Amino acid sequence: MTCDPRALGQILLETTSLTEEALETALAVQQERGGRIGEILISQKLVAEEEIFKALSLQLNIPYWEEIADGGVDLEVLRTVPINFCKRHILLPLKSEGEIVQVAVAEPLDLAPMDDLQLLLKKPVQAVLARPSTVMHAINRSYDLISETTEQMVEDLHEEELDLLTTELEEPKDLLDASDEAPIIRLVNSILYNSVKQRASDIHIEPFEKELVVRFRIDGVLYDMVRPPKRFQSSTVSRIKIMAGLNIAEKRLPQDGRIRIKIGGKDVDIRVSVIPTAHGERIVMRLLDRTQVLLRLEEIGLTGQKLEQMRKLIRMSYGIMLETGPTGSGKTTTLYAALSEINTPDKNIITVEDPIEYQLKGIGQIQVNPKIDLSFARGLRAILRQDPDVIMVGEIRDLETAEIAIQASLTGHLVLSTLHTNDAPTAITRLVDMGIEPFLVSSSLTGVVAQRLIRVLCPRCKEPYVPTDEELEELGVERHQLQNGHFYRRGKCQKCSETGYLGRSGIYELLMVDDEIQNLILKGSDANVIRRAAIGKGMTTLRQDGAEKVVAGQTTVQEVARVSQDVAV
């Protein structure tokens, strides 16, 4: 089977907006450099990939599939074909049609793999055309359905195979390819794979007197996942230590490490923390999906007046804006969204972080490293010699960092940073408690954003109900404010793993530092006085912002009560 470039080009002329002039130019490039005409047209952004595949379908008389549904794959047929083979050749056996097996292919002119597959299946095969991304996604989904569960792997563990545990870790490979490893290795791989599949942010491996518990934190809440036998505790811990490059002989001291793996085509970075406890070493792993798309400000829960105020703060030419909240409240995500919005070629933006969670194009990012005495303060001092317009400091932890950040904001730089306080007004008094003079705080601080993350109701299974008077009172909502007279509560469905929630959003408290707030700071007023003044000027508290999201049907009363508290004014 051959593909005539000019014949393919003629079909594209008839079915797309491609011009004859552009086609002739692409054919000339192919004549000079070689390669495929379709790839050249795509690289020059003259034709979309999907249009190329539709044209190929017409030229080769092969059906084109835009997507491959889960029900379109016969799992029994799939069990006879190794996943490595499918991924290497970007093909996937689908269903038997009589004596013929349909096969989705992205390379229809590569006939050798089809011949091999025919021998493997012992049946004739027939190609259907699909884009590479469609085929790869279907491969990962389909092989996931026939893979062993973590519980099955626990049952397969055998004591005599534990000596295989210390196999050296090679260059990171896709865990879905690792089907021939020792049981302990497969168990750890399965835990990692399922954590990514279930959108977990953390994995906890917790030893107790008579059991070992593995828990995932999903949307901010911990769930028990599996309980491997206690006798495999040391082997599991050792395997994770090897992957993280830690000392497996040291069991008395805390250790920190990193793992970089691929799961289903996704690059995942894992921060590993190991601490000694009374019943053995306890491991917590923080997962970071490097392929995750950065969110915009309007996608993280900021709406209306708060969104406009936030945009005003991050577009100022100088001053310091603080993000506050406990660990895991989404502060860094909000700052990244802010940086992405103001990241233009005319601005020099530099950050100092611990760790660098996302690589931001066009922004200089410094990783804090205590081992070589590269602290936030030292990194920030160095940044000021790099002619920055905008500076982001991952966290203000001490007086030295706070002083340099404030001096930077007073000398014509916009500084974004985070601080660990429970609400926005308390951030002001925290800076003063650190030792910063009130007049410096009042003249440099432009705004403080406090935030929490709440779980969002699954849109497929959420259920309407009429709230009680107690629930309305808890949120400070009047019944006439309700949309259609009801709130929503969680249901159960497969899409949300029967939790009732799917994803998270932020609730925010945004304090703008105006003349009145500056005067209160200069007078040394406490956080309660500042809070009352800010609310009098229109600031909504975390609880009030959460109530708005309950009324809008995005979350539940219980979820808002879990992450926020009613503050007396």
List the Cα angle 425/377/443 in 5-degree steps.
40
pLDDT at residue number 180: 45
Place of tokens 């708005």: 548
CB neighbours (10 Å) of residue 448?
Answer: 28
Tell me, rounded to whole angstroms, the distance of Cα 494 from its chain centroid. Answer: 21
Cα distance from N-terminal residue to C-terminal residue, the chain = 78
Which residues, listed in sequence order, are joined to residue 285 by a DSSP beta bridge?
203, 272
Question: What strand order describes the sheet that includes 100-105?
Answer: 91-97, 100-105, 125-129
Q: Can you list the residues of the chain whose pLDDT is less than 50?
A: 1, 158-172, 179-180, 568-569
CB-CB neighbours of 344 under 10 Å:
9
Q: Which residues pair with 261 in a beta bridge?
A: 268
16 Cβ contact list (under 8 Å, min separation 6)? 47, 48, 51, 55
In this prediction, residue 260 carries a pLDDT of 87
Q: Provide the phi-psi class of 4: left if phi over 0, else alpha when psi is between -120 and 50, else beta.
A: beta
Q: What pLDDT score was predicted for residue 189?
A: 86
Alpha-helix runs per DSSP H in 157-298:
183-197, 233-244
Q: Which residues on neighbouring strands pair with residue 102, listed in sequence order?
A: 126
| Three-class DSSP category at 307 | helix
> Which residues does 250 contact at the CB level (< 8 Å), separation at least 6?
none
List pLDDT tens digits, range 514-542: 999 999 999 999 999 999 999 999 999 99
Report d(CA 455, CA 223) in Å as an integer. Answer: 14
Mean pLDDT of the chain: 86
Which residues partner with 352 through β-bridges? 366, 393
Q: Do residues 432 and 438 touch, judged by C-beta distance below 8 A? A: yes
**Strand ranges in 242-358 using DSSP code E only, listed in sequence order:** 255-263, 266-277, 280-289, 319-324, 349-353
Cα distance between residue 449 and residue 298, in whole Å:
15
- pLDDT in the model for residue 151: 59
State the Cα–Cα distance between residues 133 and 569, nearest whole angstrom. Answer: 55
Query: Under a CB-based contact definition with an 8 Å cutoff, are residues 98 and 47 in contact?
Result: no
Which residue in the block uniquely carries the two structure tokens 């692409």? Answer: 26
Longest dimension (CA), the chain: 86
The length of the chain is 569
pLDDT, position 265: 65
Query: Using a CB cutoff of 8 Å and minimum separation of 24, what contacts does 140-147 make?
Result: 140/176, 140/264, 140/265, 141/70, 142/70, 142/73, 142/75, 142/78, 142/92, 143/78, 143/83, 143/86, 143/176, 144/176, 144/197, 144/264, 145/70, 145/75, 146/75, 146/78, 146/79, 147/176, 147/190
Show the tokens assigned to 45: 């952004």
At CA 330, angle to CA 520 and CA 335, rounded to 5? 70
Residue 98 pLDDT = 77
Distance of alpha carbon 306 from the chain centroid:
24
pLDDT of amino acid 452: 94
Half-sphere exposure of 255 (CA within 13 A, CB side): 22
pLDDT value of position 205: 95
Express each pLDDT in 443-502 by its tens digit. 999 999 999 999 999 988 999 999 998 988 888 888 888 877 889 999 988 778 788 998
pLDDT of residue 111: 85
pLDDT, residue 59, reads 86
Quick count: other Cβ atoms within 10 Å of Cβ 221? 13
Spatial CA neighbour of 305 closest among 556, 537, 566: 537
* Bridge partners for 351 per DSSP: 365, 392
- CB atoms under 10 Å from CB of 146, counted, come to 12
How far, in Å, CA of 284 to CA of 274, rounded?
Answer: 7
What's the pLDDT at 176?
54
d(CA 528, CA 132): 58
